[in-house]
Amino acid sequence: MGRRFFSIFLGFCLIGWSWVLAPAPAVAMGGTQPPIGSPAPEFTLPTNSGDGDVSLADFRNQWVVLYFYPRDFTSGCTIEAQRFQRDLADYQARHVQILGVSADSVDSHAEFCDAEGIEFPLLSDPNGQVSKAYGSWLGAASLRHTYIIDPDGILRAQFLGVRPVIHSKEVLATLDDLQAST
């Protein structure tokens, strides 16, 4: 009985491990992540700046840092936006457009940009349609995820579990590596 039980137990363990080790789509809190090396999900969203709508296609031939965040005026989101703004000249020198996305309204984004001196577009995704396409939606808010998209519209990097205080510098370092390899 003992030997047979052990054999059955070992068989279940091997089956379990093969399931754990099997390749699967990357999933993070918020949903399935779009695969690195694939075309970035296209979108058009209203914004607080410019002509009212921004599309990913507007930035073809340019690098894009697309970051999702939960809410305007919250501490982590404010720090993250401030750090991107502080480093904006470094992004511009690398020909990179920063785009922030949350479920907040265009009016909230305008107030937030005015209060914090944010000069890059913030996009309104109230139903989470774009956040869902990027696996960055949880209930009623976007999660703190960032994606780097190359000039051809291909996803080149993702950041999950972002730490707002150091995130902009991490993104710049990754951009340097990516741009040096192209």
* Residues marked as catalytic: 77
Which pLDDT belongs to residue 40?
98
Structural domains of the chain, count:
1
Distances (CA, A) of 14 to 4, 10, 17, 24, 143: 15, 6, 5, 18, 35
Which pLDDT belongs to residue 28?
55
Q: Is 117 within the bounds of a domain? A: yes
pLDDT higher than 50, residue 53: yes
Q: Is 134 within the bounds of a domain? A: yes
Q: Is 152 within the bounds of a domain? A: yes
Which pLDDT belongs to residue 49?
82
Q: Is 15 within the bounds of a domain? A: no
Angle at 68 between CA 61 and CA 43, to 5 degrees: 50
Which pLDDT belongs to residue 124?
97
Joined together, the tokens standing for residue 87 give 């480093």
* pLDDT tens, position by position, 133-163: 999 999 899 999 999 999 999 999 999 989 9
Which pLDDT belongs to residue 3?
57
pLDDT higher than 70, residue 21: no
* pLDDT tens, position by position, 87-120: 999 999 999 999 999 999 999 999 999 999 999 9
Band (pLDDT 50/70/90 cuts) for residue 171 is very high
> Whole-angstrom Cα distance, residue 132 to residue 128?
6
Residue indicated by tokens 């709508």 = 53
CATH of the domain at 110: 3.40.30.10
* 3-state per-residue secondary structure call for the chain: CHHHHHHHHHHHHHHHHHHHHCCCCCEECCEECCCCCCECCCCEEEECCCCCEEEHHHHCCCEEEEEECCCCCCHHHHHHHHHHHHCHHHHHHCCEEEEEEECCCHHHHHHHHHHHCCCCCEEECCCCHHHHHCCCEECCEECCEEEEECCCCEEEEEECCCCHHHHHHHHHHHHHHHHHCC
Q: Is 86 within the bounds of a domain? A: yes
Which pLDDT belongs to residue 182?
79
- Domain ranges, residue 118: 27-180
